[in-house]
Amino acid sequence: MIHVKTSVTRPSADVVRRLAKFSSATIHEAQGRRGALSSRIKPIDRSMHFCGPAVTVRCAPQDNLMLQVAIHYATAGDVVLVSAGEFGEAGTFGDVLGNAMAAKGIAAMVTDSGVRDTADLIELGLPVFSANVAIRGTVKETLGPINHPLVIGGEIVYPGDILRGDADGIVVVRRDEAEEVIALAQARVDAEDEQIRRYRAGGTTIELCNLTDKLKAKGLLVED
Amino acid sequence: MIHVKTSVTRPSADVVRRLAKFSSATIHEAQGRRGALSSRIKPIDRSMHFCGPAVTVRCAPQDNLMLQVAIHYATAGDVVLVSAGEFGEAGTFGDVLGNAMAAKGIAAMVTDSGVRDTADLIELGLPVFSANVAIRGTVKETLGPINHPLVIGGEIVYPGDILRGDADGIVVVRRDEAEEVIALAQARVDAEDEQIRRYRAGGTTIELCNLTDKLKAKGLLVED
Amino acid sequence: MIHVKTSVTRPSADVVRRLAKFSSATIHEAQGRRGALSSRIKPIDRSMHFCGPAVTVRCAPQDNLMLQVAIHYATAGDVVLVSAGEFGEAGTFGDVLGNAMAAKGIAAMVTDSGVRDTADLIELGLPVFSANVAIRGTVKETLGPINHPLVIGGEIVYPGDILRGDADGIVVVRRDEAEEVIALAQARVDAEDEQIRRYRAGGTTIELCNLTDKLKAKGLLVED
Amino acid sequence: MIHVKTSVTRPSADVVRRLAKFSSATIHEAQGRRGALSSRIKPIDRSMHFCGPAVTVRCAPQDNLMLQVAIHYATAGDVVLVSAGEFGEAGTFGDVLGNAMAAKGIAAMVTDSGVRDTADLIELGLPVFSANVAIRGTVKETLGPINHPLVIGGEIVYPGDILRGDADGIVVVRRDEAEEVIALAQARVDAEDEQIRRYRAGGTTIELCNLTDKLKAKGLLVED
Amino acid sequence: MIHVKTSVTRPSADVVRRLAKFSSATIHEAQGRRGALSSRIKPIDRSMHFCGPAVTVRCAPQDNLMLQVAIHYATAGDVVLVSAGEFGEAGTFGDVLGNAMAAKGIAAMVTDSGVRDTADLIELGLPVFSANVAIRGTVKETLGPINHPLVIGGEIVYPGDILRGDADGIVVVRRDEAEEVIALAQARVDAEDEQIRRYRAGGTTIELCNLTDKLKAKGLLVED
Amino acid sequence: MIHVKTSVTRPSADVVRRLAKFSSATIHEAQGRRGALSSRIKPIDRSMHFCGPAVTVRCAPQDNLMLQVAIHYATAGDVVLVSAGEFGEAGTFGDVLGNAMAAKGIAAMVTDSGVRDTADLIELGLPVFSANVAIRGTVKETLGPINHPLVIGGEIVYPGDILRGDADGIVVVRRDEAEEVIALAQARVDAEDEQIRRYRAGGTTIELCNLTDKLKAKGLLVED
């Protein structure tokens, strides 16, 4: 088996930049409520956000050898996405590799395991999303695949898919669907802005969510 | 079955205002260590706090139809309390409905499921307490009861009960016990302030917690 | 059985001060990846950190009698370490006892159960690390051991062991190994600073982690 | 506060006997999908089942004093229902109290904590439902309410409510709704038997679940 | 979007029959330690096992509409694989649909949610694997995809992939890899039988696992 | 660091045989409610039980190299006790190593991770206790300590300590306390047998648990 696939077809920088204007929740809705990674994966500081193509890595639990390898093959703007078997009780990533990533212009680090040196990482400014903060160290022993399709957080991610993360979580967009998603997301934002404007002007949920007929059809009983 | 009961007997604004001076933990103790909802339900920003009467809502998991309906029937100062089966992997609530609530002067939104658009909600200033932050969307399909007694976070809440939430969590106070709880809470705060004053003056736990006789009765053995 | 052992052999203040310069993760690595408590125990505010000798306490779940006793026997600079059976749904500790600790100059409070009055505790400035924030009260009924060896967070801690906590978690150092750990931690920090300097200068992980031979030996396959 | 209410209005033995013919799931459905306790509470052997009126008990975590008291006040046919704060790491109940219950003709023991001596309890033949099996012992220190309304497993149970448990879990039926539930449960069993008969005769789900119009209305798209 | 794809390319009955001779663990190892679904999904009785092609279904949490639809389109020998968002507190499946499946000769039912009527299902003899046993009912409201790729238990399953389940759990085999996996599994069984024979004859792990050189290379230190 | 300590001081076979007459719960109580391992570690079949001295092993998560080594150094009657970081999603142990153990007369296998081949292991008759059943394979890469003190299931176990396991769980007894524990356990069994005899003869809990004075002192209020 090939472990490392170095060739990844990435989206254009322009697509990434335009997709980055939308929140993870808006993108998730725009593409038909698909692509949300498990909510267990959170930013270590809620001001963190990112958008970029995925470099996918599978590590053994409590072993970050392949993460070290992946940083070598990642390029500026990439999001390094590491599944380590949902084992949270290990700091798969810390400030030394954080500096290695920042120096290369990596867009973000995402993992279903733990990270450490969080104070330094926050100061460094690299967006880091993880399922835990933990100080236990990792070994560097086990080979695994880089840039193969990766199941993480209950979703499948292909190398070059676009990941968007913010305070609410992370969503994955297939590369060839990105343009369509951008258009749908913009339409959704416009519609939501209009909804918010109407609520501020005194609109009600019954009216703005078009509930009257729906509730009647379902047989809602209201007691005055 | 009636789904929506529109008539809720609410406490007076004065009672709510006076109860709001005490922390959730103080109120919980003052009423005999009762009424604390599960600690899984937390504010999305720890500076958030609220006090107000409960409007109770039961949604199906990953379905927020009845929340939309409940906002219609809630009034200024109400706390909208939504149980959705403890299903955390869905954003039952976000910034559009947040604006609908804020426009009506709703006091807070509380749920045992997830919420999203947290950055916008924090900026909006609406207190939001939830068991999770998650971006997965919800359907609007299933009827459920509004303003019926609701079990949430391991406690039962009746419509019009007063909910008090802060950084530590949420406590429920029966409407007709509120005056008594206020008096007991004030007494407790006074006693605690006095305890703190004494500790700062050099008092010891053995002395201030009246432990000497108690420990003797229980047979504590100390080795010098 | 003796419940309270009052005699604890503590490390010197100088050792504590020198150990406090290193992060929990660095110390954990320096002593051979040992001593990390479970990541479930976190600071209630991530700016909190501490270093000091352990006073160990075992409470029954939802019962803080022995914590009250332990504060009496603790001295300035001590870390009060409380296991209460990993029961999180109780506020074992709050601002009144927090003031009692602060008045005595206690260095930190650590527990595998919950705490409350977190806003007041953060304002008080006492470092508090816990597995949960919860408002439910505790009884004061059950005797238990103070300053006996204590298993907490999956590690064993002996009275007088040095605990170091920060945003990443907590690590325990045996008192008689502290000098060696300080030396190893300093060496590790120096090596990491050098690594970071090299990454910033353009070094790669393959090179700086010495991966070339290792990956070859393990049979890594790369597809260009 | 009164701790023990000795007066419980129980359903008739006849109602209990007739309700006992239906499974927990059938009863739950028959009463409108209400009353199911959390699925964390399971029989210690899946052949166990019971039906009877609730005697409700609240214990402190890892403390079974009030269970000892409750057995005294329970009568033949009762189900002793014990909430101990969802603390599973304690054997709140074992074979000695099991024999005390069996000798009195108690119908079942149910708890959201743990039990122990399971081999002996299975041999004894007393139905025991719990959230865990655990060997840690309990203290006998803390008073709590008996025969007050009790929230357990996310549902509220009033003393004298009827509990029905089997391999699938436990459901609570309000005493004054029992006759209606029995009728609805019988109708449901009859309808399900007929459905099963039709499936065995070759019926399809589209036909027997009346899906054709429903799926059309919802816009199901099928690709041949 | 097409909801239901009716056309599934299934493996031959002969391939399924030959694969069924191997345990889930053996198959998982034979294909390079891939394809194991999360261990949360277990048989409701440990004697249950199955092998067959996947029909994939996505339901909303607490909603089994699409399961009803899927049974219609499934054929004899199929394994119906239902993801319902990992929501365990609902009985997505029970004995009525169990009879519908058994009547059609369905090979097994697998879900990441709950099931009920387990006593009847065990008597029926249909293999049922689930993440929970729960009695709460489901609505029938929400459309979702049938026979699209499905992420379940942390693995991706394509319609027509072969699922093998037994007491240890479930593994998925890609249809076009099945022949190779069968060959590798047979080789593994032969090797393991030989290992077991040697252990029974007095062989040691150091010898039979070829540990001598490996441990020397890693620097194992043994103290006599 | 020495990895493997081969010299373990074991209890006499006679002590093990006499201790084996008591249940895990009885032993736990007899030694003052100490020594119970976490209830997450269960037998794979509830008829399994064992008693014997501990051989302690620390593995990396999803890595069973040191277990292979430990079997080599274990002797007939030993209990092999393996902590692998509480990582459950891996089958650390299966039927091949099970046969290796059985051939050597090992008394039991205990781990805080997962095991597989459970049907074969049950047939083999080797007592196996684990935190999970899982099919994912393990690597054999990482060195770790054998016969050093081991924290597992929240307790510390020293090599040569006696472990007793049954359907309720596992308890550890210090080797030099075993004789005293046996005496105390026998006294407890005798007292419990007498209690059970009295309950069967109609005794009440108030009487047999000596509750009258205790409840009066605590202020129990009973409403007739």
Buried b (16+ CB within 10 A) or exposed e, C128-156: bbbbbbbbbbbbbbbbbbbbbebbbbbbb
**In chain C, what residues touch A94 (CB-CB under 8 Å)?**
25
Average pLDDT, chain C: 96
Nearest CA-CA distance, residue E22 and chain A, Å: 23
Task: Indicate the residue of E24, E199, E219 with minimum beta-carbon distance to F135.
Answer: E24
Which residue, among C43, B136, B98, F203, has the nearest Cα to A200 in the 3D structure? B98
The residue in chain C having the minimum alpha-carbon distance to the alpha carbon of residue D87 is C87
**CB–CB contacts below 8 A, B to E:** 45
Task: Indicate the residue of D85, D87, D141 with minimum beta-carbon distance to C141.
Answer: D141
Chain B interface test: which of A199, A208, A212, A213 (most B C-beta within 10 Å)? A199
Cβ contact E223–F94 (<8 Å)? no
Task: Chunk chain A into consecutive blocks of 10 residues (it has 224) and report each block's average pLDDT, rounded to whole numbers.
Answer: 92 98 98 95 98 97 96 97 95 96 98 98 98 95 94 96 98 98 98 97 94 93 90
**In chain A, what residues touch C196 (CB-CB under 8 Å)?**
95-96, 99
Cβ contact C42–A133 (<8 Å)? yes
Q: Which of residues 40-79 of A touch B (CB under 8 A)?
A: 42, 46
The residue in chain A having the minimum alpha-carbon distance to the alpha carbon of residue B133 is A168
Task: Indicate the residue of A85, A136, A142 with minimum beta-carbon distance to F89.
Answer: A85
Whole-number pLDDT of residue B224: 79
Cβ contact B220–C143 (<8 Å)? yes
For B4-81, where are the alpha helices, taking DSSP H only?
A: 13-19, 24-30, 65-73
**Which run of H or of E encompasses F169?**
strand F169-173
- Residue D194 tokens read as 């007929």
Cβ contact A143–C42 (<8 Å)? no
Mean pLDDT of F82-91: 95
Chain A interface test: which of B118, B135, B139 (most A C-beta within 10 Å)? B135
Break chain B down into helix, strand, coil percent, rounded to 5. 35, 25, 40
Buried b (16+ CB within 10 A) or exposed e, F72-109: bbbeebbbbbbbbbbbbbbbbbbbbbbbbbbbbebbbb
Rounded to an integer, what is the distance from CA F191 to the centroid of its chain?
24
Mean pLDDT of B137-142: 92
One-letter amino acid for residue C189 of the chain: V
Nearest-angstrom CA–CA distance, A30 and B134: 16
Whole-number pLDDT of residue F155: 95
Residue D1 predicted with pLDDT over 80: no
The residue in chain D having the minimum alpha-carbon distance to the alpha carbon of residue F153 is D89
Whole-number pLDDT of residue D224: 79
The residue in chain C having the minimum alpha-carbon distance to the alpha carbon of residue B223 is C5
pTM of the model: 0.94
The residue in chain A having the minimum alpha-carbon distance to the alpha carbon of residue E152 is A154
Task: Indicate the residue of F1, F86, F151 with minimum beta-carbon distance to C151.
Answer: F151
Conformational region of residue B77, where left means phi above 0, alpha means psi within -120 to 50, and beta covers everything else: left
Residue ranges, chain E, pLDDT below 70: 1
Q: What is the DSSP letter of B48?
A: -
Checking ipTM against 0.90, whether it exceeds it is yes
Nearest-angstrom CA–CA distance, A89 and A116: 11
Summarised one tens digit per residue, pLDDT across range D84-101 is 999 999 999 999 999 999
DSSP codes, B111-149 = EEEEE--HHHHHHHT--EEEEEE-----B------BSS-
Which residue, among D171, D212, C30, F89, has the nearest Cα to E69 in the 3D structure? D212
Cβ contact E4–D221 (<8 Å)? yes
Chain B interface test: which of E59, E62, E112 (most B C-beta within 10 Å)? E62
Average pLDDT, chain D: 96
Which residue, among E66, E62, E77, E76, has the nearest Cα to E16 in the 3D structure? E77
Handedness of CA C192, C196, C201, C204 (dihedral sign): positive
Task: Indicate the residue of D1, D5, D72 with minimum beta-carbon distance to F205.
Answer: D72
Whole-number pLDDT of residue C198: 97
Chain E interface test: which of A86, A156, A161, A174 (most E C-beta within 10 Å)? A156
Q: How many helices (H) and strands (E) does chain B have?
A: 8, 11
- Per-residue pLDDT band at B2 (split at 50, 70, 90): confident
Domains of chain C with CATH codes: 13-182 (3.50.30.40)
Q: Are residues E49 and E167 in contact, defined by beta-carbon separation less than 8 angstroms?
A: yes
Task: Indicate the residue of A85, A89, A136 with minimum beta-carbon distance to F62.
Answer: A85
- Per-residue pLDDT band at F68 (split at 50, 70, 90): very high
Could you tell me if D151 lies within 8 Å of chain F, comparing CB atoms?
A: no
The residue in chain C having the minimum alpha-carbon distance to the alpha carbon of residue B195 is C96
Could you tell me if F32 lies within 8 Å of chain C, comparing CB atoms?
A: yes
One-letter amino acid for residue C183 of the chain: A
The residue in chain E having the minimum alpha-carbon distance to the alpha carbon of residue D219 is E143
Cβ contact D156–B156 (<8 Å)? yes
Which residue, among B151, B36, B33, has the nearest Cα to B83 in the 3D structure? B151
Whole-number pLDDT of residue C2: 84
Cβ contact D60–C89 (<8 Å)? no
The half-sphere exposure of C126 on its side-chain side, counting CA atoms within 13 A, is 32
Nearest-angstrom CA–CA distance, E163 and E157: 9
Residue D184 predicted with pLDDT over 80: yes
Whole-number pLDDT of residue E11: 98
Residue C1 predicted with pLDDT over 90: no
Whole-number pLDDT of residue A2: 85
The residue in chain C having the minimum alpha-carbon distance to the alpha carbon of residue F60 is C33
Would strands D169-173 and D222-223 be described as parallel, antiparallel, or unpaired?
A: unpaired
- Per-residue pLDDT band at D146 (split at 50, 70, 90): very high
Summarised one tens digit per residue, pLDDT across range B66-88 is 999 999 999 999 999 999 999 99
**In chain B, what residues touch E142 (CB-CB under 8 Å)?**
139, 141
Q: Are residues D128 and D115 in contact, defined by beta-carbon separation less than 8 angstroms?
A: yes
Q: What is the 3-state secondary structure of C45-84? A: CCCCCEEEEEEEEECCCCECHHHHHHHHHCCCCCEEEEEC
Q: What are residue B169's DSSP bridge partners?
A: B166
Could you tell me if C218 lies within 8 Å of chain A, comparing CB atoms?
A: yes
Whole-number pLDDT of residue E2: 85
Would strands E128-130 and E150-152 be described as parallel, antiparallel, or unpaired?
A: unpaired
Mean pLDDT of F173-187: 98
- Per-residue pLDDT band at F224 (split at 50, 70, 90): confident
Cβ contact B155–D151 (<8 Å)? yes
Nearest CA-CA distance, residue C151 and chain F, Å: 6
Nearest CA-CA distance, residue E86 and chain D, Å: 14
Could you tell me if C162 lies within 8 Å of chain A, comparing CB atoms?
A: no
Could you tell me if C7 lies within 8 Å of chain B, comparing CB atoms?
A: yes
**In chain A, what residues touch E149 (CB-CB under 8 Å)?**
156
Question: What's the Cα-to-Cα distance from B23 to each of B168, B183, C44, F97, rounded to whole Å?
Answer: 8, 14, 17, 57
Whole-number pLDDT of residue B179: 98
Q: Which of residues 80-99 of E touch B (CB under 8 A)?
A: 85-87, 89-90
Which residue, among E92, E88, E41, has the nearest Cα to E66 in the 3D structure? E92
Whole-number pLDDT of residue A224: 79
Could you tell me if E156 lies within 8 Å of chain D, comparing CB atoms?
A: no
Summarised one tens digit per residue, pLDDT across range F98-155 is 999 999 999 999 999 999 999 999 999 999 999 999 999 999 999 999 999 999 999 9
Would strands D79-83 and D50-58 be described as parallel, antiparallel, or unpaired?
A: parallel
Whole-number pLDDT of residue C21: 98
